[in-house]
Amino acid sequence: MAVSTGQERGLFIGGEVVEAASGEVRDLLEPATGEPLARAAMGGEADVDRAVAAAREALDGPWGRTPPNERSRLLHALADAIAANRKELAELESRNVGKAISSVKAEVGGAVENFRFFASVLGSIAGRANPVGGSLQTYSIKEPVGVCAQIVPWNYPLLMSVWKLSPALAAGCSVVLKPDPQTPLTVLRIAELAAEVGFPAGAINVVPGDGPTTGSYLVRHPGVDKVAFTGSTRTGSEIMRLASEPLKRLTLELGGKSPNIVFADADLDDAIPSSVWSIYYAAGQSCEARSRVLVEKPLYDEFVSRFAAYAKQLKVGDPLDPETQVGSLISTAHRERVHGFVEKGREEGAEVVVGGELPDGKGAFYAPTVLAGVDNAMTVAQEEIFGPVVAAIPFEDEKDAVRIANDVRYGLFATVWTGDPARGHRVARAIKSGMVGINMPFTAFPGIPFGGYKQSGFGRELSIDTLELYLETKGVLFSVSPKPFNPFGL
């Protein structure tokens, strides 16, 4: 096998592209066409062993000796390299995931900014020094946690990898990253770019492979000090169990069923198009997709009909067309699952206002779908559908809105639309989620902590707090007394 041509991708271990020990190579299909896109090597246990050993060697060697200012320079250089290769990366991601290129371009821009953010804030890594009392003094130092296993899903393979790599590398950790086997292409390219700009061998290793085998082995690996996972809540629970022996540090970024709350006093010309975007970008395959639209009762019918009219207008199609707003889902198998939820909604009494049909033809497309008359107890209001399907739920008043918003097991994001600023902040306080947006649809920016409450996980991405999750704090104690301690009075 030619391991890294445009069409054939190897694993990335110890600074180079390598074949999988088993020789396994898998065909990757383009979700929007069903046609072959590339072939990628799939790693197994022997490859994880190799990658963890390379990561440890880097930490004990050149990468571990790289001072913070040089780490910062390397992170900026990688940001520059991503910016210089943004066209190639965007097209690769769009074709591999099926997602509209307009969104993917913004994601590549976000990746660049994310590396820059952590390149800057790593200068803030510092311990403290305090006199404790008497002759006793102490200082603390920050050290990288060590070798990090990072596992990411298929919905934002490039961005989720960058969200994880950037704080880990800023803190001085080395990484073995396992992308989803369907979507390894862009992070493999980023690992190559990292090597080109001078990251030492073994600082970044990428081993695509199946979750229950390769991923599980990586999580349990005794050479791994920390596991950072993004994916479903079900897999997150399993990872927490697997990471407990031997015990590892853990962060989990999991699923969501985020509410988009629209009060009758909101500016509807702003709230409605933004609410449409908040569910349908990335074809609804976003953890923080506002998949439940909660609307104050007097406004409900008007809101649903205006929302549905916009949903119908969205341009669904070729992900590489710059005009496309909604691309393909990741696979026809996933589309079956999404459609199954819509059918379940119908059975439980929801009205399908637009969409909700399985289309003919090539690709895994699914039309933006609106379910009205939804009660929050229905399956479509409780379960993460992870597709372009919104559940519109009426509410009575502010108290009822907060009750419904919180009445799910998840707590990732919420958006509130209101003309009353005090109400916006009051509701933001009352909602049990890691993030709340007031009168704006956007969710993720470098510098703003991103993560969940409840079953949406724990730990935060994107912020200065994230650095702490990749650092250990060591306390050093000493005495300035000229007299030695003699605790036994010997």
- Which residues bind to ligand NAD, rule: CB under 6 A? 151-156, 160, 178, 180, 211-212, 215-216, 219, 230-232, 235, 238-239, 253-256, 287, 384, 386, 412, 452, 457
Shortest distance (Å) from residue 231 CB to ligand NAD: 3
80-89: b (≥16 Cβ within 10 Å) or e: ebbbebbeeb
**DSSP one-letter string for 287-316:** TT---EEEEEGGGHHHHHHHHHHHHHHS-B
- Of 36 and 212, the one with the shorter C-beta distance to ligand NAD is 212
Q: Which is nearer to ligand NAD, 15 or 457 (CB)?
A: 457
What is the pairing mode between strands 8-9 and 25-29? unpaired
Tell me the closest approach of the beta carbon of residue 255 to ligand NAD, in angstroms. 3
Indicate if 253 belongs to the active site: yes
Report the C-alpha gap between 78 and 199 in whole angstroms.
Answer: 9
Nearer to ligand NAD, 72 or 216 (CB): 216
Cα 69 to the center of its chain, rounded Å: 27
Q: How far is the CB of 450 from ligand NAD (least distance, A)?
A: 6
Shortest gap between Cβ of 297 and ligand NAD (angstroms)?
A: 30
CB-based contacts of 195, cutoff 8 Å, min separation 6: 12, 15, 16, 201, 204
Which of 30, 253, 288, 384 is catalytic? The answer is: 253
Which residue in 93, 107, 148, 287 is the catalytic one? 287
C-beta closer to ligand NAD: residue 394 or 446: 446
The three-point CA angle 368-236-191 to 5° equals 80
Shorter beta-carbon distance to ligand NAD: residue 66 or 433: 433
Of 227 and 271, which CB lies nearer to ligand NAD in the complex structure?
227
- In sequence order, the 6+-apart residues with CB closer than 8 A to the CB of 102 are 322, 324, 325
Cβ nearer to ligand NAD, comparing 107 with 192? 107
How many whole angstroms separate alpha carbon 409 and alpha carbon 421? 28
Among 68, 207, 111, 90, CA closest to 151: 207
CB of 190 to ligand NAD, least distance (A): 16
Among left, alpha and beta (phi > 0; psi -120 to 50; other), residue 172 is left
Q: How near is the Cβ of 345 to ligand NAD at its closest, in Å? A: 19
Cα separation, 390 vs 270, whole angstroms: 18
Rounded Cα distance, 423 and 446, in Å? 27
What distance in Å separates the CA atoms of residue 126 and residue 225, rounded to the nearest whole number?
Answer: 21
All residues at 6 or more sequence positions from 422 whose CB lies less than 8 Å from its CB, including other chains: none
The identity of residue 228, as a single letter, is A
- Name the DSSP letter for residue 198: T
Burial zone of 253 (CB within 10 Å; 0-12 exposed, 13-18 middle, 19+ buried):
buried
**Phi and psi dihedrals of 227, rounded to 5?**
-120, 130
In the complex, minimum distance from the CB of residue 285 to ligand NAD, in angstroms, rounded to a whole number = 7
Q: State the alpha helices, DSSP H only, in 38-100.
A: 45-60, 68-84, 86-97
Q: How far is the CB of 161 from ligand NAD (least distance, A)?
A: 10
Q: Which is nearer to ligand NAD, 139 or 442 (CB)?
A: 442
Integer Cα distance of 122 and 154 in angstroms: 28
Is 148 a catalytic site residue? no
Nearer to ligand NAD, 111 or 353 (CB): 111
Q: Which residue is nearest to ligand NAD (CB)?
A: 211
CA-CA distance, 191 to 24, in Å (whole number)?
A: 20
SS3 content of the chain, % helix, strand, coil (to 5): 40, 25, 40
Residue 221 beta carbon to ligand NAD: minimum distance, rounded to whole angstroms: 11
- Which residue numbers are catalytic? 253, 287
